[in-house]
Amino acid sequence: MENIKIKKALLSVSDKSGIVELAKTLQSFGIEIISTGGTKKILQDAGIPVTDIQKVTKNPEAFGGRMKTISFEIESALLFDRNKDKIEADTLGIEPIDLVVCNLYPFEKVLKNDADFDTLIENIDIGGPTMIRAAAKNFKYVTVITSIDDYKSFIDEITANRGATTFEYRKKMMAKAFNHTADYDALIAQTMDNETGIKSIRLAYTDGKELRYGENSHQKAIFYQQKGVDNTFHDMEFLHGKALSYNNILDISGAVASVKELESTGCVVVKHSNPCGMAMAKNQKTALQKAWQGDPVSAFGSIIAFNTPLALETVKFFELTNKDRSKRKFIEVVIAPEIKPDALEYLQNHKNLRVVAYNPEKLPQNPDFRIINGTLLQQDYDDKLYDDLKIVTRNNFKLDKKLIEFGIKTIKNIKSNSIVIVGEKDGNYYLLGMGAGQPNRLVATELALNKAKEFIRQDFNGKTKDFDEFYNQEIGKAYLISDAFFPFADNVELAAEKGIKHIVQPGGSIRDQSVIDACNAMGVNMIFTGIRHFKH
């Protein structure tokens, strides 16, 4: 298709930013500018000649500006086919308009500012979308610009093509235009539904990227960006390694969400979307070592996330250059807010290791959505740790509030039914063991206890003559935390048998008292939080 030289342009914008610069560029190519209302005044004040739109429509602006551009003359000038309709257009006295620059009344802005209903109605644009859609439909001959962000590319385009635009550019702007009006109308429709008591939602996703594969290698997968949401995983900075897969992104999501809430230097090791190791320590290397210690076997092929810039001293832990290849630690993805240049250089010793820069602090706390068989579930972000920390057993003891909070931040990111056991030493906090995704809570408790014992054994190193003595000392200081209430005392009995002295759970079962009685009988302290943290 040929380049189309712009001879006549229609400028009608709500947001006037950058419009004078654009108009001056049009003027430099001898392009006639037609404009309306406030846009016309801004241009005239800048000394730019403007043709009043009333001269084209042969009708006045009316009804407080509600009627300006909607007319046979304007829509015809945009819509007629420059080849097959030329004779008819000449007969009707229709001169072509080759460019539309239009952004719409700020409905979204006034909505966010809690405008009243009448103000919302007055900010529904009618003429603008009509012009935009007409120009976009006839993109073979007409260029349409709907975003201030595209002004620079448009100026570059007509400068490079001596006042003309290419077919490829017009087609690209056409797609943007239809997306723009679709999003605009979708927001209005959703708002009006809410005004009339109807719950509806319209989500738009764009910029789809093909992934290596889906959950399994025979499944295709695409990764989209939700419009209007900043700092999503689509914005990750990919620094090194193989392309990401569907599972990688799910695990990255779990890893970043887990480490986001840690207030000091933190690290999490995630496998199959569950944190299997997690630590908050005085320095980054210790955080990694303790997180890895949570489950060294499951850490093989894991996703590891940090909440502080990643340093060379930390990543040396992976021993990627060790001559004994069996000592090199295999991981799939490393994520941190920033990767120091020397740390990145070291990580690049593993050619397939994916290295990603993403700041967990920027992770938005948007509602969660889940699409299931033609339906959409929506829920609030789980941003609450507990209602209260209430000791419900008879013993008086000093609560380790910070350790409990660390444990809850861990368990809220683990698939239910889940149990975690957390500990603290020398100001470092870590996950000793967890049981995840079990239909039976007793099994989850047993898994967490077994993992905790493995963790403690790694710390033993003959520090006392008897491991059992060392184990009982360490497990006695730990806290066992449940994501939901204990319906029976069997979990308490198992935990007490293994040396647990502190249990944290939401409470709320009809059998709470029997569970509390069991704790009192076995010398176990129990704390109720009042908040459940299921994650399905």
Q: Specify whether the CB–CB gap between 239 and 251 falls below 8 A.
A: no
- Give the contacts of 247 (CB within 8 A, at least 6 positions apart): 215
HEC states along 44-76?
Answer: HHCCCCCEEHHHHHCCCCEHHHCECCCCHHHHH
Asked if 400 and 498 sit in the same domain, the reply is: yes
Other CB atoms within a 10 A radius of the CB of residue 417 amount to: 21
Answer yes or no: is 472 within a domain: yes
Asked if 331 and 419 sit in the same domain, the reply is: no
Asked if 115 and 166 sit in the same domain, the reply is: yes
The whole-angstrom separation of Cα 366 and Cα 355 is 25
CATH of the domain at 317: 3.40.140.20
pLDDT tens for each residue of the chain, 536 residues long: 689 999 999 999 999 999 999 999 999 999 999 998 889 999 999 999 999 998 888 888 778 778 888 889 999 999 999 999 999 989 999 999 999 999 999 999 999 999 999 999 999 999 999 999 999 999 999 999 999 999 999 999 999 999 999 999 999 999 999 999 999 999 999 999 999 999 999 989 999 999 989 999 899 999 999 988 888 889 899 999 998 999 999 999 999 999 998 989 999 999 999 999 999 999 999 999 999 999 999 999 999 999 999 999 999 999 999 999 999 999 999 999 999 999 999 999 999 999 999 999 888 888 888 889 889 899 998 989 999 999 999 987 888 999 999 999 999 999 999 999 999 999 999 999 999 999 999 999 999 999 999 999 998 877 667 888 889 999 999 999 999 999 889 999 999 999 999 999 999 999 999 999 999 999 999 999 999 999 98
Asked if 64 and 146 sit in the same domain, the reply is: yes
Supply the range of the domain harboring residue 429.
385-528
Answer yes or no: is 535 within a domain: no
Asked if 415 and 329 sit in the same domain, the reply is: no
- pLDDT value at position 464? 66
In this prediction the pTM is 0.85
Answer yes or no: is 356 within a domain: yes
Asked if 329 and 393 sit in the same domain, the reply is: no
- Cite the active site residues: 137, 272
Asked if 445 and 513 sit in the same domain, the reply is: yes
Helices (H), 413-478: 441-460, 467-477
- pLDDT value at position 335? 97
Per the structure, the count of domains in the chain is 3
Asked if 396 and 350 sit in the same domain, the reply is: no
Asked if 244 and 276 sit in the same domain, the reply is: yes
Measuring CA to CA, which residue among 290, 288, 296, 289 is closest to residue 271? 296
The whole-angstrom separation of Cα 256 and Cα 48 is 52
Answer yes or no: is 263 within a domain: yes
- pLDDT value at position 36? 87
Asked if 34 and 143 sit in the same domain, the reply is: yes
